[in-house]
Structure 1
Amino acid sequence: MYIPDLFKNENPEAIRTFLKENAFGILINQTNGKLWVTHIPLELDYNKDGEEILYGHISKENPQWTAFESNDDVLAVFTGVHSYISPSWYDHENVPTWNYSAVHVYGKIKIVEGDAVIESLSKLVDKYEQNSKCPVRVADLSKKTMMEARGVVAFEIKIQEIQALTKMSQNRDDKNYAAIIKELNNTENPQSIAVAKEMEKYRK
């Protein structure tokens, strides 16, 4: 990913937080001679050796998994809030642009089997059920329901490289930076307002 130096995010903790908060990612590999893409939750964690990984699962009906063993190189893409930035918001002539955050994770994928599949599913469900009124636990599901677990392929991605970009108008002076935040809030667009809140973290 092309990242201008000004927008490069090299803060490991900030990147980890981003991945945990924006875990619905895009898994990309090469399957049967062409690029293949699946949109799925990819959760950041550590394996039994203490190595940082992403874990997830896809349907066995999805051909993507058939290439995991023959070519284990994969790319996982994650995006955060984003918004159009109008040049009319500046006190000078300029060009339109877009504010956004993104993280690309390159790694080696490995299929996991047996108890590791249930453990992976349990961690995923526990994370997203924690705010439910009546949280569901994998351990409480019937054998009949759990038969559906046979229809998934679970995996781990050993992380080799992370590229992170945070483009939030860092190249603007304080006056124009404040103007952008004000205009974003005035849009009444949830994504734009979220970008304004993100920008407020970087400059008071």
Structure 2
Amino acid sequence: MYCPSAFRQDDLATLHQQIQASGLALLSSAGEQGLQASHLPLLLEPHEGEFGTLYGHFARANPHWRDLATGTEALVVFSGADGYVHPGWYPAKAEHGKVVPTWNYIAVHAWGQAEVFDDPERLLRLVSRLSERHEQGRARPWAVSDAPRAYIDAMLRAIVGFALPIRRIEGKWKLSQNRSAGDQAGVRAGLAESARASDRELAQQMNPTD
């Protein structure tokens, strides 16, 4: 990921927080079947290894897991808020007109090699934890135990799990840090007034010290 120093985010706690906040990750790798990419919900264990370990599962019918089983390196992308930056938000436009549109965004990239597994009990623990995470806060949260065990056992046979220790991690918080304080304030105000939720989230991520 191209990441000028102004946009680089190196704080591991912040990177982990963004991973946890991302509902769906993009996992990509290159193997015998060429480039492949899968959209997957993942779990992060922050305390396993230096950067943490990611856990998830594929449909067994998805050939992607077979490449991971050979030890090929995988890249996992977690996307945060993003938004278009209108040139008119820059005070510099009125001063000299030397401005162009851009796009602000937050992203975390993580690399590693996965361990693939299909042990039923290990898979059961994984899908139970995933369900618990995404059912939190609901009035009547669903649990894996709500479904008949025979049905769950059949579903488990249809998936393959993986654990991916993170070997390298990068974060990019592109929030107009390369602009003047006045231009940053203009972008922050413009995003805050947008009807788009992701724009307003970006505005909250920006602060006067960026």
Normalised by the length of structure 2, the TM-score is 0.89
What is the letter of the counterpart of residue 12 of structure 1?
L
Q: Percent identity?
A: 28
Q: CA deviation at 1:136?
A: 1.5
Contact 1:72 1:108 in 2 (8 A): yes
Contact 2:27 2:75 in 1 (8 A): yes
What is the match of residue 167 of structure 1?
174
**Does the 8 Å contact 2:42/2:130 carry over to 1?**
no
**Whole-angstrom CA distance in 1 between matches of 2:165 and 2:63:** 21
CA distance in 1, matches of 2:70, 2:56: 19
Q: Structure 2: 5+ residue runs without aligned partners?
A: 93-97
Q: Residues of 2 paired with 1:27 and 1:91: CA distance? A: 40
* 3-state DSSP of counterpart to 1:188: coil
Contact kept in structure 2, 1:30 and 1:71, CA below 8 Å: no
2:150 alignment partner, one of 140, 144, 151:
144
- What is the CA distance between 1:186 and its match in structure 2? 2.5
**Following superposition of structure 1 onto structure 2, how do residues 117-132 of structure 1 map, counting pairs within 5 Å?**
117-132=123-138
C-alpha distance after superposition, 1:3-44 (max 9, x if no partner) = 101100001110110100014100111243410000111221
Q: Which residue of 2 aligns with 1:188?
A: 195
Alignment of 1:1-204 (within 5 A): 1-45=1-45, 50-51=48-49, 52-92=52-92, 93-114=98-119, 115-146=121-152, 147-200=154-207, 203=209
- Report the AA paired with residue 110 of structure 1: E
- Secondary structure class of the residue paired with 2:123: helix
For residues 119 and 46 of structure 1, what CA distance do their matches in structure 2 show?
Answer: 17
Partners of 2:193 and 2:68 lie apart in 1 by 47
**How far apart, in 1, do the equivalents of 2:34 and 2:137 lie?**
39
* Offset of residue 46 of structure 1: 5.2
Equivalent residue letter for 1:82 = D
TM-score (normalised: structure 1) = 0.92
Ranges in structure 1 where 5+ consecutive residues have no aligned partner: none
Tell me the amino acid that sits aligned with residue 161 of structure 1.
Answer: R
Which SS does the other structure have where 1:106 is aligned?
A: strand
Q: CA RMSD in A?
A: 1.7
Q: Matches of 1:24 and 1:72 in 2, distance apart? A: 22
- The count of aligned residue pairs is 201
CA distance in structure 2 between the partners assigned to 1:144 and 1:117 by the alignment: 15
